[in-house]
Amino acid sequence: MGFVENMIKKSRLKSPWIVHFDCGSCNGCDIEVLACLTPMYDVERFGVVNTGNPKHADVLLVTGTVNHRNRHVLKQIYEQMPEPKAVVSIGACNLSGGVFKDSYNILNGAHTVIPVDVFVPGCPPKPEAIIDGVVTALNALAAKMGLGPAPGAALMPGDEDAPKAAAVG
């Protein structure tokens, strides 16, 4: 592996750019994601930059209930992101449908549409948990680049079909 290539990989991990897609959350999770950027939590001091453009992003944060209308949008955004990429699924709704699970328009979680690396449970999770989720996603990203061991794998509680992922929180 060349020196320059290595530098690029290291800098991507040092300063991950995130894109946030709201799949139809109740806003509870959204405002907690936004709160991570504000002076109290200020993730920018760690080099995390929020971008609006999926083509610039390394980590995708998904919140809210995935439904039949927005799953295509979610899939498109995921496909537009360059490799390697990591996905963090945030909030009870996004993990499994949450309180809306019985409703007719709901898919049971983002992991049914795209591969998810980290699950952050909570309704809504606290900003600390979300930051922790992003940090865990960086380990997953490093593993995908061949720069570290794969993070400890865990199933989501109560869901045998869930893909292997690191549980946070």
Partner 1 sequence: MNRSTVIPFGPQHPVLPEPLHIKFVVEDETVVQAVPQLGFVHRGLESLVRTKDFNQMVFVVERICGICSCIHANCYCNAIEDMLGVTAPPRAQFLRVIWSELHRIHSHLLWLGLFADAFGFESVFHQFWRIREHVMDICEATAGNRVILSINVVGGVRRDLNLDQINWMLGELDKIENGMRELTRTMLDDYTVQERTRGIGVLSKDDARLLGAVGPTLRGSGWECDERMHGYAAYKELNFVPVVEHDGDCYARCKVRFNETLHAIELVREALNRLPESELTVKLPGNPDGESVFRVEQPRGELFYYVRANGSKMLERMRVRTPTFANIPPLLAMLPGCKLPDVPVIVLSIDPCISCTER
Interaction site with partner 1 (CB under 8 A) = 20-32, 34-35, 38-40, 52, 54, 64-65, 67, 69-70, 73, 77, 98-100, 102-106, 123-124, 126
Cβ 5 to partner 1, closest distance in Å? 31
Nearest CA among 84, 127, 111, 131 for reference residue 23: 111
Cβ burial of 94 (10 Å; 0-12, 13-18, 19+) is buried
Name the burial class of residue 159, with classes exposed (0-12), middle (13-18) and buried (19+) by CB atoms within 10 angstroms of its CB: middle
Coil vs helix vs strand at 39: coil
Compute the least distance from the CB of residue 71 to ligand SF4, in Å: 16
If one asks whether residue 130 binds ligand SF4 (CB under 6 A), the answer comes out as no
Task: HSE, CB side, 13 Å, CA atoms: give it for residue 72.
Answer: 2
Stretch of 34-42, 73-81, 85-93, 137-145 contacting ligand SF4, by CB under 6 A: 85-93
Binding ligand SF4 (rule: CB under 6 A), the pick from 20, 25, 59, 60 is 25
Residues of this chain that bind ligand SF4 (CB under 6 A): 25-26, 28-29, 63-64, 91-93, 98, 123-124
